[in-house]
Amino acid sequence: MAWLTDAHIHLSDNEYSDDMEYTLAAMDKMKIRACCVSMDNQSSKATLALSQRNSLILPFIGIHPEKADDDLNTMIGLVTQNSDKISGIGEIGLDKTYVSDESGFSRQVLVFQKMLSLAEQLGKPVSIHSRRTLDEIFSILPSYSIKGVLLHWFSGSKKQLQKAMELDCFVSYGPAMIYSEDKQVLLSQTRIDKILLETDGPVRFSRCFGLKTAQIEFLPSVLFCAAGILNKSYDEMLLVTERNVDSYLGV
């Protein structure tokens, strides 16, 4: 049986701590793996610890643009010292909503470029936060040779999606796609071999999810929706995403 993979979820977040045993048991029963991303040094250490508890947790560590002031040298050491244990580097990226001036954004760019350089050196995939900064990210990515680049929670324009495909990026869609026509249109125009699925928990979703914290158990619903949009059966779409995840992770 094929495995379903959440390409981007923050399982090391405190929101999940009380129910972690249930979550891990559910993942095993439902055959779901998780690319568990981090925000900073503290959450990266928590992600590494969680991955030691269960092989279904695929650890990604790095500095999120919101946390760009975190200690960069400590993170570089954490990544290099655990290069044989991590599955990738993330969540990294750019986001001007977290800064008030050019100096703050320049710091984000510095951290992002260093994380990309590490990913290139270590041969690791990256999970990128790109809210309203896709054009800036597109200008940076060609300077690095990274096989697995994921633009998580893709919310750009059709033109930007085309650019992402030209750069051979993966893009991921989450629970919002179930009720967002814009996301459904973007999915339909994404290369089939570049589609990944995610929950981005612990984000809360409105509409059919009633503002509940995203659970990894939401993922089959996302897969079912994607299958319908692309005129595939659930099992066909499952095999597509499994192949894509393996390609993204380089396994």
pLDDT (tens digit per residue) in 45-72: 999 999 999 999 999 999 999 999 999 9
Q: 137 and 160 in contact (C-beta within 8 Å)?
A: no
For helices 158-166 and 181-188, what crossing angle results, to 10°?
Answer: 30
pLDDT (tens digit per residue) in 154-191: 999 999 999 999 999 999 999 999 999 999 999 999 99
Segments forming the whole domain that contains residue 25:
4-249
Q: What are phi and psi of 130, to 5 degrees?
A: -135, 30
Domain count, the chain: 1
Assessment of whether the complete model's pTM goes beyond 0.85:
yes
In terms of residues, how long is the chain?
Answer: 251
Helix (H, G, I), strand (E, B) or coil at 145: coil
What's the CATH code of the domain at 233?
Answer: 3.20.20.140
